[in-house]
Amino acid sequence: MSNGKRYAVIIGVSKYEDDGFPALPYAKNDAIRVARALVTVGGFKKEQVYLLVNDVSAPTTDFQYFAPTRSNVLEKLKIVADDASQDDLVLVFFAGHGVEASKNPYLLSCDTKMNVLAHTGVRVVEDMNDILGKSSAKTILRIFDSCRSPFGGTRTVMECMTKGFEDALMYHGSGWASFSSCSSGEVSYESSELEQGVFSYYVCEGLEGKAANENGVVTFDSLVNYVRISVDNWCGEQGRKQTPHMKQDLSGVVPLTVTKRAAPSATPSIDNPFDALQLAIDRHLAGTPPDARNLTFTDPQELESVAQTAQARIRELAESFQNPRVSLSLSERKSLRHLDAHAWNQLLASVGSRKLRQEFPNNTSAMRLEFTSTEVVIPNTSLVVALVRFSFFYWVWYYHVCIKDPFQDAFSPSPLSTSGFFTFKPKAAVDGRKLDAALRELFKRCSSDIVSWSGQLKEYVNSRIDPLRKLGDIIE
């Protein structure tokens, strides 16, 4: 870490006084988690981290916090810019809505009014960039999770990030770096499953250690790379498009957090053995992500309760399916390894690819849905749905495969199968509402698969029948 001071202005706007701006429930979560990471493993002192969020008490956040009003945002930016000297680092994080109006880009504070936007919004160029541009700080990092839209919804202040808004966010002078959650023409998603903005979720994971190098150091570059890859993977699984964008003019490597510290050179003498235990716990927690400190561990009874809820909902959704050309049958609930060996192997591969194998106790509760068609050009498919328990959360995991009939020979659907998962904390899984939403989304994806595979099979069947049609025409 640098010997200079480290300042941060962390802003998360979840609620807006103007009813025309949709609420963003998780922007506050993003800001709090970023602030905690910076203080816990980033070398930022609490008194030099300004947290601006809605409706959170200081004991909850462990920080002095301020309402994310326009005046507070500008005041804290100016305090930090003025206080920082040549060797210091300034980091600004914003999670909330952004908009471009009359070719002027704005970040929306909680008291912004659309009808007087020029006077109540935070102007990116004239306000933020101008204030930071006058600072003596050697390094200025800005991270924006704006153009926010709830995942699965269509609410957003503007349709997507505009080129003008992107250019304002991406402004960089000497010693500046700007990292934005999406590129022109895109929106930045919030996820109820993650309970954060998707981009911010991976920023936090990266800061807390997932983006660390072999020495346990998270640099700005390693954070950017980790977030880009993670968001891209999430988008691939969810069928979305969001491309984080970065511009920088930094000199050298900029370390942000250190998540693995060297062993102390000497062990202090301790008279009380319980003092040793306390010291060991404190050291352990110093390198542990804050969101991993108060986990609710699941148990077999809870797994059975959640599995029964999922089974009942799957059966209800399956029984509501009626189509004269396709029938749907449902198996009894079993362990996945006893239900489908291939699907079991796919699950293990998925667990292994996310380095979660040690967290997986091999407990599953699975059902298979068979879609059987009477029409040649509608393929038979098999959908396996499994509830999977990990140390402190659940997956609803699925594997959907197109089943070829013997006569189809060289028919090769693309892809042959799809799989994915939804994650839940125990409380959300037992509650059932998120579980229900996930199952509905799962069936929606399954329907999309069948439609896609049907189109491919129709083309294949037509290609096989066309020569016979031509022969029939010649005979006639």
Q: What is the pLDDT of residues 329-351, one digit of tens each?
A: 999 999 998 888 889 988 988 88
Q: Which of 104, 110, 94 is nearest to 144 (CA)?
A: 94
327: enclosing H helix or E strand:
strand 326-330
Q: How far is CA 21 from the centre of its chain?
A: 22
Choice among 295-299, 335-339, 420-424 with the minimum mean pLDDT: 295-299
Range 298-305, long-range pairs (CB < 8 A, 24+ positions) = 298/389, 298/390, 298/391, 298/392, 298/393, 298/394, 298/426, 300/363, 302/426, 302/429, 302/430, 303/363, 303/365, 303/387, 303/389, 304/365, 305/430
What is the Cα–Cα distance from 108 to 98, expressed in whole angstroms?
6
What is the Cα–Cα distance from 384 to 231, expressed in whole angstroms?
26
Query: What integer is the mean pLDDT of 305-316?
Result: 86
Query: What integer is the mean pLDDT of 40-54?
Result: 92
Quick one: pLDDT at residue 309? 86
Query: Under a CB-based contact definition with an 8 Å cutoff, are residues 178 and 248 in contact?
Result: yes
Quick one: pLDDT at residue 397? 93
The total number of residues written for the chain in this structure: 476
Query: What integer is the mean pLDDT of 289-296?
Result: 51
438: enclosing H helix or E strand:
helix 433-475
Share of the chain above pLDDT 70, in %: 83
**What DSSP character marks residue 409?**
T
Q: Please enumerate in sequence order all residues whose Cβ is within 8 A of that of 359, keeping only pairs 6 or more positions apart, or say none.
A: 390, 391
What is the Cα–Cα distance from 171 to 249, expressed in whole angstroms?
10
Query: Under a CB-based contact definition with an 8 Å cutoff, are residues 108 and 99 in contact?
Result: yes
Q: How confident is the model at residue 134 (pLDDT cuts 50, 70, 90)?
A: very high
Q: Which of 17, 16, 83, 24 is nearest to 48 (CA)?
A: 83
Which has the higher per-residue pLDDT, 115 or 165?
A: 115
**What DSSP character marks residue 269?**
P
What is the Cα–Cα distance from 466 to 245, expressed in whole angstroms?
49
What is the Cα–Cα distance from 129 to 134, expressed in whole angstroms?
9
Which has the higher per-residue pLDDT, 376 or 450?
A: 450
Three-class DSSP category at 54: coil
Which has the higher per-residue pLDDT, 292 or 33?
A: 33
What is the Cα–Cα distance from 233 to 198, expressed in whole angstroms?
11
Dihedrals φ, ψ of 341, to 5°?
-65, -40
Choice among 227-236, 347-356, 427-436, 446-455 with the minimum mean pLDDT: 427-436
Residue 154 has pLDDT above 50, yes or no: no
Q: Is 128 exposed, middle or buried (0-12, 13-18, 19+ CB in 10 A)?
A: buried
Residue 58 has pLDDT above 80, yes or no: no
Q: Which of 463, 461, 362 is nearest to 405 (CA)?
A: 461
> What's at 25, amino acid-wise?
P
Q: Please enumerate in sequence order all residues whose Cβ is within 8 A of that of 216, keeping only pairs 6 or more positions apart, or say none.
A: 209, 258, 259, 260, 261
Q: Is the dihedral of CA 300, 304, 309, 314 positive or negative?
A: positive
Residue-range domains of the chain with CATH: 6-256 (3.40.50.1460), 300-463 (3.90.1150)
Query: What integer is the mean pLDDT of 434-443?
Result: 87
Q: How confident is the model at residue 268 (pLDDT cuts 50, 70, 90)?
A: very low
Quick one: pLDDT at residue 1? 55
Q: What share of the chain is helix, strand, coil (3-state, %, to 5)?
A: 40, 20, 35
